Amino acid sequence: MQRIRLRYTKRGRLRFTSHRDFQRAFERALRRAEVPMAYSAGFTPHPKVSYANAAPTGTGSEAEYLEIALTASRDPERLRSLLDESLPTGLDVVEAVEARTSGLADRLTASVWELRLDGVDPADAERAVRAFEAAEAVEVQRRTKNGLRTFDARPAVVSLNARAGATEAADAPLHAGPSDQPCAILRLVVRHVTPAVRPDDVLSGLRAVADLAPPVPAAVTRLAQGLLDEETGTVTDPLAPDREAAEALETAVPAAAATAPMPEGSA
C-alpha cells in the first residue's frame, strides 16, 4: 500500500467551503481521476483519506494537508496534477509527496495566519498588538454545542505583529484596485492547543484588551502550518522530512549499485 501526502489550498470564494463540502468534492475528484484508492472494511467502506487540522469555514488557506492510501503505486506529481484538474479552481492541490516518514499530524503543531483588517488604522492595530502581548492573560468566549466557554487565548499566541496594507474587497479578483481607506495586516503564529485558539479568538482578545473592532469582518488566510521551532518561533514545512527521505533513497540506490561486487566470470 502506497501513502501519498497532499497540500491543498482554499482560495477566493472557495474559502467558504466547509470541511464536509471539501470531503465530498475530493472524493468525487478521486473517482474522476481514477485513483486506485484503498478502502476501509465494514458495511460502508469509504476511501482511506486522513484529513489533518482543517481550517475553519470562511478562512482561506495555502496550507491544508491530507493523506491518502493507494492499492497501487502512482507517481506523486502525476497524481497531484490529475486531482488538481478534477477539483474546482480555488481548491488547488499544489504539492504531493510519498509518505516515507510517520506522524504527519504530529508535525502540525502551529499555524501562521494573516488577518486583513479593512478600515483599521495600522497605528491602532499596532497599539492593540502591544496591549495583547503585554497582557498576562486574555480571556475570550466562544459559543460551543455545550454553551458559552471562556478560555485564555494568550498562551497559544507565539507572535503577533501589525503592518500597513492595501484595502481589498472581499471579492478581490473582481475588485478594481486598492481604496483610500486604511488597512492593517496582522501576522499571527499560534500553537495548536486544546481548546484550539483560532484567529477570531485573537480578534476577540484584541477587542477585549484594546477595544479594537474592525468595521468589516476580517479576511483571514492560513499561510503555513507545521512543526513549531521554539527557538526561532518559525513554522517548518511538514512535508520536508518525506522529501528528504526520498532524496536520500535516490542517492543511496545508485551508490549501492556502484559498490556492489561484480558476479564471478563477468568482465
CATH class of 108-235: alpha beta
Confirm whether 2-106 and 108-235 share one CATH topology. Answer: yes
pLDDT digits (tens, 9 = 90+) for 44-66: 899 999 998 999 999 999 999 99
Residue 250 has pLDDT above 60, yes or no: yes
For the segment 103-127, the average pLDDT, to the nearest whole number, is 96
Chain centre to alpha carbon of residue 229: 17
CA atoms within 13 A on the CB side of 104: 23
Cis-peptide, bond into residue 195, ω within 30° of zero: yes
More confident residue, 167 or 203: 203
pLDDT digits (tens, 9 = 90+) for 165-176: 875 544 444 344
What the block records as the C-alpha cell of 16 is 467558504
pLDDT digits (tens, 9 = 90+) for 1-56: 899 999 999 999 999 999 999 999 999 999 999 999 999 988 889 999 999 899 99
CA atoms within 13 A on the CB side of 69: 9
- Bridge partner list, 191: 110
pLDDT digits (tens, 9 = 90+) for 123-150: 999 999 999 999 999 999 988 888 889 9
Number of Cβ within 10 Å of residue 16's Cβ equals 13
Residue 6 · residue 66 · CB < 8 Å: yes
Domain residue spans in the chain?
2-106, 108-235
Report the pLDDT value the prediction gives residue 37, as an integer from 0 to 100: 96
For the segment 182-210, the average pLDDT, to the nearest whole number, is 96
Q: For all residues of the chain together, what is the average pLDDT?
A: 90
Report the pLDDT value the prediction gives residue 177, as an integer from 0 to 100: 46
Report the pLDDT value the prediction gives residue 260, as an integer from 0 to 100: 58
Specify the CATH number for 2-106; select among 3.40.1080.10, 3.40.50.150, 3.90.1150.10, 3.30.70.580: 3.30.70.580
pLDDT digits (tens, 9 = 90+) for 56-97: 999 999 999 999 999 999 999 999 999 999 999 999 999 999
Provide the pLDDT confidence category of residue 261 given band limits of 50, 70 and 90. low
Q: Work out whether strand 183-191 and strand 110-118 pair parallel, antiparallel, or are unpaired.
A: antiparallel
Distance CA 197, CA 193 (A): 7
For the segment 180-191, the average pLDDT, to the nearest whole number, is 94
Report the pLDDT value the prediction gives residue 265, as an integer from 0 to 100: 58
Distance CA 90, CA 139 (A): 35
Question: Is the dihedral angle over the CA atoms 47, 51, 223, 127 positive or is it negative?
Answer: positive
- Bridge partner list, 70: 2, 37
Single-letter code of the amino acid located at 153: A
Report the pLDDT value the prediction gives residue 242, as an integer from 0 to 100: 94
Q: Work out whether strand 2-10 and strand 60-70 pair parallel, antiparallel, or are unpaired.
A: antiparallel
Lowest mean pLDDT among 89-93, 218-222, 244-248: 244-248
